[in-house]
């Protein structure tokens, strides 16, 4: 079972690699059969190729995206939730997307599932 420190380190790497544009480093945090549902209610993407396509789509939608931890992660055993803000810059304007992520982890603290809860109605200018 992963420790709290290992889960925190994975979450921090998740935020850092995404913000830095490190596609391969970010994808390496996931298990080969991991799932991503972002936002919740959309199609679940499964596996490295599908999650990589999610990365590509997300990064193509904005000039820059920076993920900032607001609270957490907290949880038990193999599951944790955390609050973050996605700061997306498009054409010189930065918008903030408040998000709650819920993740499950393997024994070695790799991400086996990720679900992102956010709503377009909550997006606001920075």
Q: Give the catalytic positions in this structure.
A: 14, 38
Tokens of 52: 């990589």
**What distance in Å separates the CA atoms of residue 115 and residue 75, rounded to the nearest whole number?**
14
Answer whether 96's CB lies under 8 Å from 125's CB.
yes
DSSP strand E in the chain: where? 30-37, 45-46, 64-76, 79-90, 93-105, 111-117, 124-125
- The CA distances from residue 2 to 5, 39, 103, in Å, are 8, 26, 13
Q: What single-letter DSSP state applies at residue 121?
A: G
**What distance in Å separates the CA atoms of residue 104 and residue 110, rounded to the nearest whole number?**
8
């Amino acid at each position: 079972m992963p420790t709290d420190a290992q889960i925190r380190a994975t979450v921090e790497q998740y935020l850092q690699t995404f913000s830095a544009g490190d596609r391969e480093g970010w994808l390496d945090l996931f298990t080969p059969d991991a799932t991503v549902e972002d936002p919740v209610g959309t199609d679940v993407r499964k596996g490295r190729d599908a999650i990589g396509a999610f990365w590509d789509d997300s990064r193509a939608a904005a000039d820059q995206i920076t993920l900032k931890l607001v609270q957490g992660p907290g949880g038990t055993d193999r599951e944790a939730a955390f609050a973050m803000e996605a700061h997306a810059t498009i054409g010189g304007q930065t918008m903030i997307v408040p998000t709650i992520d819920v993740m499950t982890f393997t024994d070695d603290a790799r991400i086996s599932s990720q679900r992102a809860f956010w709503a377009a109605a909550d997006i606001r200018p920075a």
